[in-house]
Structure 1
């Protein structure tokens, strides 16, 4: 009940989050900007992704495509944010592989992550949660994760970081 009440209170920031996404579209027109907030997680989320690009595949796999990008997350539980990377491989419409990247991000994701992070800091006054702190184990059940698997990242952001609608 408290979590739902907190989301109800935090929804006041939704319009400001939409402004953030409009500003990202203006400065990153070559990327697809998406709204990936889900009230089952404890953060606002946006995605910044490339279009699908062909990748080499073995003959039996058929044609494959890849897209990559970053996810910006603003916690509703604390004034912190994180930006992490994602890569999806597709065969047709099916995602056949998803890979999450944390610090250090691959070189092609670093500048993009910096733009998203600076925008979140400027608009919301949040601070980046250092990766070492995000990996701290916590004695809480978060969604379907139980200790010792749960971390501060799971509690403040998401237990399923690769699951964003792209």
Structure 2
């Protein structure tokens, strides 16, 4: 039976608070304690996540595969991305314009769900000038990558894709720097900063 927004909200309430009561205190909140415990359990699967990334390297030998997991987020993350590509421009620029794009696979450590989304980084010379996040439907060039990543996560971890309409459900919780009314289930289950991937 598919997991519902209500089920997921009851799960994430165990790990994220709706207030700032513990801000600035040495004492950890019960939610933060549970979050750290969840990561301790999840890290037992890190070798399996590395196997996933090795398999992606075999499937996509011409692309870069990166491990983007950060334990402040609630998910394992991997990236599959291109080399920087020049961007054509009619303007005379001192610095050349370029971009690269990729797909990020996220497996939640809090619930048996995953998501896949796209990213594009734009540069002027070496300076990052824009980061764009793409959710369903992904641009055509990202779709095949996303499908392969999704199939591999499903096969290896038995997780189900979190539908976008559920992922966008607003929740009354604080997740890192996201606060209501901006906070969504996506933030609580995966990451509060989807554009913040090591590049």
Q: TM-score, normalised by structure 2?
A: 0.81
More strand by share: 1
Change (3 A) 1:120 1:61: farther
Identify the residue that residue 82 of structure 1 maps to in structure 2: 115
CA contact (8 A) 2:172 2:181 kept: yes
Q: Does 1:34 align with 2:59?
A: no
Deviates more, 1:2-11 or 1:73-82: 2-11
Q: Deviations over 1:137-160 (max 9, x none)?
A: 011111121111100000000110
Give, in angstroms, the shift of residue 64 of structure 1. Answer: 1.2
Q: Could you say what the CA RMSD is over the residues aligned between the two structures, in angstroms?
A: 1.0
Unaligned runs of 5+ in 1: none
Q: What is the distance in 1 between the residues matched to 2:94 and 2:119?
A: 22
1:6-155 to 2 correspondence within 5 Å? 6-57=38-89, 58-60=91-93, 62-155=95-188
Bigger Rg over Cα: 2
Q: How many residues end up aligned between the 2 structures?
A: 166
Between the aligned partners of 2:51 and 2:137, the Cα distance in structure 1 is 28
Q: Which moved more, 1:13-22 or 1:89-98?
A: 89-98
Q: Cα deviation per residue 1:50-85 (whole Å; 9 max; x = unaligned)?
A: 111111233246201110010000000100000000
Q: Any gaps of 5 or more consecutive residues in structure 2?
A: 1-32
